[in-house]
Amino acid sequence: IDTIIPLKSRNIWNKHQVKKFEDKEGFEGRFIGHVETTLARSLYNCDDLAAYESTSLSVRDNLIIDWNNTQQRITARDPKRVYYLSLEFLMGRALDNALINSQAGSDEPTSRPMVEKSLDELGFNLEDVLKKEPDAALGNGGLGRLAACFIDSMATQNIPAWGYGLRYEYGIFAQKIIDGYQVETPDYWLNFGNPWEIERNEIQVPVTFYGYVDRSDGESTTLSPSDWIGGERVLAVAYDFPVPGYKTSTVNNLRLWKAKPTTEFDFAKFNSGDYKNSVDAQQRAESITACLYPNDNFNQGKELRLKQQYFWCAASLHDIIRRFKKTSRPWSELPDQVAIQLNDTHPTLAVVELQRVLVDLEKLDWHKAWSIVTATFSYANHTVMQEALEKWPIGLFGHLLPRHLEIIYDINWFFLQEVEKKFPKDFDLLSRVSIIEECSPERQVRMAYLAIVGSHKVNGVAELHSELIKKTIFKDFVKVYGSQKFTNVTNGITPRRWLKQANPKLAELIGKALNDPKQNFLLDMPKLTELAKKADDPEFQKAWDLVKANNKLQLADLIKDTNNGVDIIDREHIKDTLFDIQVKRIHEYKRQQMNIFGVIYRYLAMKKMLKEGSTIEEVAKKYPRKASIFGGKSAPGYYMAKLIIKLINSVAEIVNDDAEIVDLLKVVFIPDYNVSKAEIIIPASDLSEHISTAGTEASGTSNMKFVMNGGLIIGTVDGANVEITREIGEDNIFLFGNLSEHVEELRYNHQYKKTELPPELAQVLKSIESGVFSPENPNEFKPLIDSIKSHGDYYLVSDDFESYVATQELVDEVYHTQKNDWIKKSILSVANIGFFSSDRCIEEYSETIWNVEPVKPET
């Protein structure tokens, strides 16, 4: 390995090599060192925040040492590497995860107990210290969290992999609920600095925008090396985040880019005295990485977003290429050394950028370049929803990236020729598969089509979804390429964060039951099947139930905190209160509206019984204790989703204050749902709701998290619910509703035939219309009602409502009259959830798409 340090100096370097701390003594030395010098504080003014910073810096020191070794090992062995490009990484907190994953030399399952003890002796409580860390909320929902789980699994499996993304100054907004409405406030997560990032001021990549293509030589064509004269230049600065694997010393890298102005400025303006304007444009550079776009499953089409995408793709590719070039291999070997995974279409510009680099800068022949490009990239699709599919008006696109638009035209030209050759004269097909959409008011670049054409593999994220994309949005591409290009990799989640970190007591209980106190099962989740043997064991059931009850108490604390210290949940009855939870982005297709309608139905039915003379005991028999818990953010501009949040809060207000029904029904909306809250909420569920209209939720991943924590599911036959059912058995899940193959017909019926509302739903809608939940403004929720009654009920709430309500009654019955059976279902579900470890996903991607192998540390 090259070094600038002369040989004769190396002894000193080696003598003073920094070592990892391996025990309490070592940790304490580091901790106090960081408090006193890095933070310039002392024992007199070290508060919890300083303790958090100092603990993080100490643990980070260990990770950096392992990070360095990992990177050196990989450089030396030079294997094929994976680059995971994602515009979102929803990481949550880093410290607890680092404590769990890094071993700090002990043979303990983790170094966490050691640090906990140390901190205690130093005068701090680990739990309080951990809470000082703000979430790294650089994502919207499932897509960003998937990326976070995947990089955890890649590190754990010693895959030579880097993540590339953007270092947004503001993550997803913080949600406040004011008078029942969502109010967004900025999430300046870097307020107190960030001990987990390493600013690499030495890595600055210039990125160009606007300008024109110079073809004044009269010789070159769009297919030959062309000169793009950019009009604006900014710098991408690298920030690195260590990603530790579990029970391995591999520490991978997540590189996030920040935009900053170049040091050049406009001398013409400066000399003419226009100093301010000469600086202003430069300053605007920073806006590129200022904010995460807060939309989930929705494409807003803003220029700044395209700018973010290019900025990130250009910088990342530059970095990848620089690393490849160091090995002096020929370009033809790029696909043997590099796999680039596109997390949805957001990074598709990387395909075009690589073609540009190869043709314009490296002077490769167009076709040679293109075969290298397509062998390098693969694309994962995450949605079939039209409003989420990215398309860019060519005007906007060509203005920002003139050369890239030319390249896209040429890619399309050759692609359409290929199609024409296979299907001569099928002009309809040509226009359907064209990367350029011709018929809309303005021509548009279809990014998903570009991603398919530019990749060697395309995958969906659950079996049903992968089948659906082949039959619907990408049908024509199956015709053109054959179905081998399309594959499935069902999503997964990391059991380190979602079982061990979120639910340590359950992990411990499982470890004991499996005779695996060091919790090696977290690396081999299919091992959990052994648990099934314990499903009928009354002692084990009791222990299992106790873990759940304690988790529910913790959630009750969280709910109390977010409700100005007022308890909503009756703690005395916590064991026989069914915690029914739906937490995820608020979206009409996810159907939180159906859930709250179900709650209203229940409330009305209870009131009716009372009115007709039933005693409260009789009511309780039919409608036993239940807490209906919601959480999730709406996109700031999504009117209907915001109205759903308001309805939930309005219902909560009426129901929770109704003394007549005593405490039998409670409704809670937990504000500002995020990863760290999910870690408290998910382990506390008895039941969780995954009730999207069939065919709309590509996979879902919280469904897996809930089951892994011993919760049962009420759900539709959609996304990964299908495979969860197959794995855990249909006796252990409450499925209901219409199937995806009937959706089209049902929608058609709503449009063209007269359909009746089921009486249960009619009753609910009537009560909303009459202002029961909005006495001041009975019309407040009219748009929600109209969407069902007058606008075609696109999400088929009226078609699924009866079976939803009936299934909820079945849930009550099992939970309240056959509790042992319920617990048994819970144990059996956990026993069979191993398939959904993200470790399995990474194995599948590695073998079938990336063709990469682990590089294990020497032991």
Per-residue string for binding with ligand OX2, 337-376, x by CB under 6 A?
A: -------x--------------------------------
- The verdict on whether 345 is a catalytic residue reads no
Q: Which one, 346 or 642, has the nearer CB to ligand OX2?
A: 346
Largest CA distance in the chain: 95
Number of residues near ligand OX2 (by CB under 6 A): 18
- The verdict on whether 55 is a catalytic residue reads no
58 binds ligand OX2 (CB under 6 A): no
Residue 601 to residues 58, 539, 607, 665, 793: CA-CA distances in angstroms?
54, 38, 10, 12, 19
Residue 727 CB, nearest approach to ligand OX2 (Å): 16
Residue whose tokens read 């980070």: 60
- The verdict on whether 487 is a catalytic residue reads no
Cross-strand partners of 488: 460
Q: Which one, 146 or 765, has the nearer CB to ligand OX2?
A: 146
- Residues ≥6 apart with Cβ < 8 Å to 271: none
Contact between 832 and 528 (Cβ < 8 Å): yes
Residue 639 CB, nearest approach to ligand OX2 (Å): 20
Cα four-point dihedral sign 589, 592, 594, 597: negative
Q: Which one, 703 or 798, has the nearer CB to ligand OX2?
A: 703
Q: Kindly tell me which residue out of 674, 699, 732, 738 binds ligand OX2, with binding defined by CB under 6 A.
A: 699
Q: Which one, 382 or 534, has the nearer CB to ligand OX2?
A: 382
Per-residue string for binding with ligand OX2, 574-613, x by CB under 6 A?
A: ----------------------------------------
Contact positions with ligand OX2 (CB under 6 A) in 713-772 = 719
Q: Which one, 296 or 780, has the nearer CB to ligand OX2?
A: 296
DSSP-derived secondary structure letter, 763: H
Residue 143 CB, nearest approach to ligand OX2 (Å): 4
Q: Which one, 701 or 798, has the nearer CB to ligand OX2?
A: 701
693 binds ligand OX2 (CB under 6 A): no
Stretch touching ligand OX2 by CB under 6 A, among 142-150, 274-282, 333-341, 439-447: 142-150
Q: Kindly tell me which residue out of 297, 501, 577, 693 binds ligand OX2, with binding defined by CB under 6 A.
A: 297
SS3 letters across 256-309: EEEEEECCCCCHHHHHCCCHHHHHHHHHHHHHHHCECCCCCCCCCCCHHHHHHH
Residue 647 to residues 181, 314, 568, 653, 782: CA-CA distances in angstroms?
9, 44, 18, 10, 11
Residue 59 CB, nearest approach to ligand OX2 (Å): 29
Q: Which one, 102 or 701, has the nearer CB to ligand OX2?
A: 701
Residue 131 to residues 51, 92, 676: CA-CA distances in angstroms?
11, 12, 9
Find, among 229, 241, 258, 103, the residue nearest to 168 by Cα.
Answer: 258
142 binds ligand OX2 (CB under 6 A): yes
Stretch touching ligand OX2 by CB under 6 A, among 141-149, 220-228, 229-237, 743-751: 141-149
Residue 678 CB, nearest approach to ligand OX2 (Å): 14
Other CB atoms within a 10 A radius of the CB of residue 69 amount to: 15
Stretch touching ligand OX2 by CB under 6 A, among 116-124, 136-144, 626-634, 656-664: 136-144
Angle, to 10 degrees, between the axis of helix 504-513 and the axis of helix 538-561?
Answer: 170
Specify the amino acid at residue 124.
Answer: F
Per-residue string for binding with ligand OX2, 19-38, x by CB under 6 A?
A: --------------------
Q: Which one, 738 or 838, has the nearer CB to ligand OX2?
A: 838
Q: Which one, 297 or 837, has the nearer CB to ligand OX2?
A: 297
Residue 260 to residues 256, 292, 313, 687, 856: CA-CA distances in angstroms?
13, 16, 16, 47, 37
Per-residue string for binding with ligand OX2, 379-398, x by CB under 6 A?
A: ---xx----x----------
Q: Which one, 254 or 855, has the nearer CB to ligand OX2?
A: 254
d(CA 525, CA 836) in angstroms, rounded, equals 8
- The verdict on whether 705 is a catalytic residue reads yes
Residue 296 CB, nearest approach to ligand OX2 (Å): 5
SS3 letters across 361-378: HCCCCHHHHHHHHHHHEE
Find, among 124, 349, 151, the residue nearest to 250 by Cα.
Answer: 151
Which of 80, 446, 534, 590 is labelled catalytic? 590
d(CA 699, CA 567) in angstroms, rounded, equals 35
d(CA 220, CA 217) in angstroms, rounded, equals 7
DSSP-derived secondary structure letter, 753: S
Burial readout 437-461 (b: 16 or more C-beta within 10 A, e: otherwise): beeeeebbbbbbbbbbbbbbbbbbb
Q: Kindly tell me which residue out of 211, 700, 715, 854 binds ligand OX2, with binding defined by CB under 6 A.
A: 700
Q: Which one, 343 or 593, has the nearer CB to ligand OX2?
A: 343
Q: Which one, 103 or 685, has the nearer CB to ligand OX2?
A: 685
Stretch touching ligand OX2 by CB under 6 A, among 331-339, 415-423, 697-705, 794-802: 697-705
Residue 489 CB, nearest approach to ligand OX2 (Å): 10
Stretch touching ligand OX2 by CB under 6 A, among 284-292, 443-451, 647-655, 695-703: 695-703
Residue 461 CB, nearest approach to ligand OX2 (Å): 4
In sequence order, what DSSP letters do the residues of 557-612 get, joined into one string? HHHHHTTTT---S-GGGGGGSEEEEEES---GGGTHHHHHHHHHHHHHHHHHHHHT
Burial readout 319-337 (b: 16 or more C-beta within 10 A, e: otherwise): bbbebbeeeeeebeebbeb
Which of 41, 584, 824, 825 is labelled catalytic? 584
146 binds ligand OX2 (CB under 6 A): yes
Which of 132, 485, 666, 705 is labelled catalytic? 705
Q: Kindly tell me which residue out of 509, 698, 722, 728 binds ligand OX2, with binding defined by CB under 6 A.
A: 698
Q: Kindly tell me which residue out of 672, 679, 697, 793 binds ligand OX2, with binding defined by CB under 6 A.
A: 697
Residue 849 tokens read as: 């798409």
Find, among 106, 126, 4, the residue nearest to 55 by Cα.
Answer: 126
Q: Which one, 175 or 488, has the nearer CB to ligand OX2?
A: 488
- The verdict on whether 110 is a catalytic residue reads no
Stretch touching ligand OX2 by CB under 6 A, among 223-231, 691-699, 807-815, 834-842: 691-699
Contact positions with ligand OX2 (CB under 6 A) in 466-505 = 491
Residue 537 tokens read as: 């064991």
Contact between 243 and 159 (Cβ < 8 Å): no
Residue 337 CB, nearest approach to ligand OX2 (Å): 27
End-to-end Cα spacing for the chain:
21
Q: Kindly tell me which residue out of 63, 130, 137, 143 binds ligand OX2, with binding defined by CB under 6 A.
A: 143
Which of 701, 750, 807, 825 is labelled catalytic? 701
Stretch touching ligand OX2 by CB under 6 A, among 96-104, 139-147, 438-446, 732-740: 139-147
461 binds ligand OX2 (CB under 6 A): yes
- The verdict on whether 587 is a catalytic residue reads no
d(CA 169, CA 258) in angstroms, rounded, equals 8
Residue 675 CB, nearest approach to ligand OX2 (Å): 14
Pairing status of strand 578-583 against strand 687-690: parallel
Other CB atoms within a 10 A radius of the CB of residue 673 amount to: 20
In sequence order, what DSSP letters do the residues of 421-482 get, joined into one string? HHSTT-HHHHHHH-SEE-SSSS-EEEHHHHHHHT-SEEEESSHHHHHHHHHTTTHHHHHHH-
Cross-strand partners of 83: 162, 340
Which of 73, 255, 382, 677 is labelled catalytic? 382
Residues that bind ligand OX2 (CB under 6 A): 141-143, 146, 296-297, 344, 382-383, 388, 461, 491, 697-701, 719
Would you name the residues annotated as active-site residues?
A: 382, 584-585, 590, 701, 705
